[in-house]
Structure 1
Amino acid sequence: MAAVRDRRQPLLGGSAATATLEVQREDHSHVDLEALEAENDRGIAALGDRVGALRGITTGIHGEVESQHRLLDNMAFSMGGVQLSLRATADKMTKVMSEPQKRRMVYMAGAAAMLLFFLYLWLQR
């Protein structure tokens, strides 16, 4: 393309020096475009590395969320079993506390447990 322009310039009234200057500008712009393209390629590669790192982080977060979700599901299942056991124990305690003679026995056992606890604390000093 530069050779065609060199032949046309003198025909259109331009000087050979002007034609040579335009060829030099095209060469510089070509070099600048190559440098810019290389810089863009490096930027794209760096961006690709960052995107890969972010993907790794998000994959790790997703795995952690899934494991926490499974843990919470297992805890809910376990807590359901604990709730049933507590309800059964509360029902038995209600039956025991409904009879006066058994209620006195529970109070005496509670008092004995408190006495042993305070004795333990006193001996720890």
Structure 2
Amino acid sequence: MGMLDKLPNLTTLLLISEVFEENTKILVFSKEGFPSLQFLSVFCVDEITEWSVEEGVMPSLWRLRIWFCSGLTTLPDGLTYLTNLKELTIFRMPRELHSRIQEDGEDFCRIQHVPSVVIGEPYDPPMQ
């Protein structure tokens, strides 16, 4: 992420499975990174279990989509810093995350400022 977040004209970013090194568990969006990013999609990034969004990052972001990230059970505190975020889509994520983002959930305060929030069905891992 260190090189991508410095690209001044990057407006759209799709992070998809196998984009990170094998043992990467934490996704960090650092302060002042991604100055022009408007659209971010995180799709099938199962290895990530923690996500950090620092204040001052992605000031232009207005659409965020998070899909099929089975290792992510909570949303980053820093989503509250994304004041221009207008659309958030969460789809096929772990049931634990879904319960945390409901109106009475622990993480609801992180997304309540977003005008349009679409939450799809949770992901239930196959029975073994």
Normalising by structure 1, what TM-score?
A: 0.16
Q: What's the TM-score, normalizing by structure 2?
A: 0.15
Comparing both structures, which one devotes a greater share of its residues to helix?
1
Select the structure of larger CA radius of gyration. 1
